[in-house]
Structure 1
């Protein structure tokens, strides 16, 4: 099993997705996936000296739960989702149908009901997982704005900065839809952060399923949200955010770094043992059509946060 090292320096490398972003104007089509979860977390560690200790506790709890194969107390988890739409243009004010298509993608991907699940290579067939967590659209809140982009400093989550405050963040997943800027598709907050900023942010162009010929391609199948919700449920990038890093999951291969596009299988790592990389995992950076699986280890890690004593236990209550 991969060993967990919980020093502050390691935490800074493991959880990054936050840089100060300046407002930007409309951008050209993004050529490479860019999640900003890890950078955001690094900034939160710097701003909140007590957060590292809290994350240490969560990691210790998670490791124990995974080792002891704990089970969810009340069975299957259903997550209510509040979608907060911030728009300046009509295109940013995405339709209810578009929002529902994103909920449908999450339900398919987290329940192994995605049509491409059968593409998982034989090598990984023994670890591919049905996570068994479902999502239901609870509410859509819309707000007109004059901002052209929001960056990654959580302004979209704060009404005092023109955004929308989260709704019941200890029992509902808040999902902000807006133009982020900087070529960033989305970012999330790991368990353990402030409830005032808890949730997932996805750029409005990449929410739900859109045309293969549209501006969102090749990120047009709703997998940006699948990736970010994975972070919200305590998953790391599969390469551990450093060369040949550790994602804290035992059944994922060691990756050199992020993969982009749709790599030809098998794609070998040059890390120790030269394993075949799991490029089709949702926590890599491949195109939407190139990612279509979670593993049993990732499932166990996600499930641990909903157990009694876990950081998202309140979501697991009837």
Structure 2
């Protein structure tokens, strides 16, 4: 287990999750390869564009640590209105309302510990598995036909004239669904970034549980992972060898895990702890991730506390 501390290196504003496509004869498969992340490259671009962002995010880290230490977490209902922005070139990419609702349903289950695989959490981690207690409600769907074949991590999908501008991002979680291209599953903006680009982007092949959603990313967990980032969670391995994710009850991971690792999977870090490979903030397949920890819950709730960067979402 690692101790929470303020780290000035955790200023990333976007997280991109990547995969490579392949197919088999027996089932539609979006990727049999591992997820990856372009966070370092995106971080450098964001900091070049806005040097003051590092200061802002450091202040958020300081606030988060203090709020957790003093128990000043949100004490009211958190119900997140969601607007899904669909950008499509093909009919298939213009995903159905049923597919969109399936993603909202997954978010509600995963963030309220009602997912059917929550009972698979090993006994070793049963004492820290968390019901985050945050709900999501679909407020609106905005659709736009586009000539763009694929999008990248430059936020073009969030801007006119090609994309769709976010709806009131101070009080609405905007999710863009589009063909990302380049093997990208999705990415999220951490608290502290520009409101004009705030939200989460998900590839249509990793969105929800039906329609264009394709194995092994067809259970809606890409959005769970990215919304975790939107609520200020880091990757469980801290984006470094045996790195720090700013959470005290997650074991040290030497690096990301992929696929569906057999339990127990031991870390090569100090103490060789059993890794929490089933955590939503690892890089395993959708079928292999099914829990947040109590420490992650506290970190997420801190952003909604009075004075927190997403307090405008909290309800009295």
Task: Give the TM-score of the pair, scaled to structure 1.
Answer: 0.91
Q: Does the alignment pair 1:308 with 2:309?
A: no
Contact 1:103 1:136 in 2 (8 A): yes
Note closer, same or farther for the CA distance 1:157–1:47 as it changes in structure 2 (3 Å cut): same
Tell me how far 1:76 sits from its aligned partner: 2.0
Structure 2: which 5+ residue stretches go unaligned? Answer: 23-29
2:90 aligned counterpart, secondary structure: coil
Q: Does the alignment pair 1:72 with 2:71?
A: no
Distance (whole Å) between structure 2 residues aligned to residue 171 and residue 234 of structure 1: 16
Contact 1:18 1:42 in 2 (8 A): no
How big is each residue's C-alpha offset from its partner over 1:94-131, in whole Å with a ceiling of 9 and x where there is no partner? 00000000000000000000000000000000000000
Cross-structure match for 2:276? 278
Contact 1:17 1:39 in 2 (8 A): no
Cross-structure match for 1:205? 205
Please show how residues 1-318 of structure 1 align to structure 2 within 5 Å: 2-7=3-8, 10-11=9-10, 17=15, 28=22, 29-30=30-31, 31-36=33-38, 39-73=41-75, 75-160=76-161, 162-210=162-210, 216-317=214-315
Task: Give the TM-score of the pair, scaled to structure 2.
Answer: 0.92
Note closer, same or farther for the CA distance 1:39–1:189 as it changes in structure 2 (3 Å cut): farther
Distance (whole Å) between structure 1 residues aligned to residue 220 and residue 40 of structure 2: 20
Distance (whole Å) between structure 1 residues aligned to residue 191 and residue 287 of structure 2: 28
Contact 2:14 2:187 in 1 (8 A): no
Tell me how far 1:317 sits from its aligned partner: 3.4
2:261 aligned counterpart, secondary structure: coil
1:100 aligned counterpart, secondary structure: helix
Distance (whole Å) between structure 2 residues aligned to residue 215 and residue 233 of structure 1: 24
Tell me how far 1:18 sits from its aligned partner: 6.0
Distance (whole Å) between structure 1 residues aligned to residue 111 and residue 117 of structure 2: 13
Distance (whole Å) between structure 2 residues aligned to residue 114 and residue 11 of structure 1: 30
Tell me how far 1:310 sits from its aligned partner: 0.3
Structure 1: which 5+ residue stretches go unaligned? Answer: none
How big is each residue's C-alpha offset from its partner over 1:47-94, in whole Å with a ceiling of 9 and x where there is no partner? 101000000100000001111122314x22000000000000011100
- Number of positions where the alignment pairs a residue of Structure 1 with one of Structure 2: 306
Distance (whole Å) between structure 1 residues aligned to residue 116 and residue 37 of structure 2: 24
Q: CA RMSD in A?
A: 2.0
Note closer, same or farther for the CA distance 1:257–1:112 as it changes in structure 2 (3 Å cut): same
Distance (whole Å) between structure 2 residues aligned to residue 129 and residue 204 of structure 1: 28
Distance (whole Å) between structure 1 residues aligned to residue 304 and residue 103 of structure 2: 23
Divergent runs of 4+, >4 A: 35-39
Distance (whole Å) between structure 2 residues aligned to residue 271 and residue 234 of structure 1: 24
Distance (whole Å) between structure 2 residues aligned to residue 273 and residue 175 of structure 1: 39
2:224 aligned counterpart, secondary structure: helix
Distance (whole Å) between structure 2 residues aligned to residue 40 and residue 80 of structure 1: 27
Tell me how far 1:5 sits from its aligned partner: 4.2
1:143 aligned counterpart, secondary structure: strand
1:283 aligned counterpart, secondary structure: coil
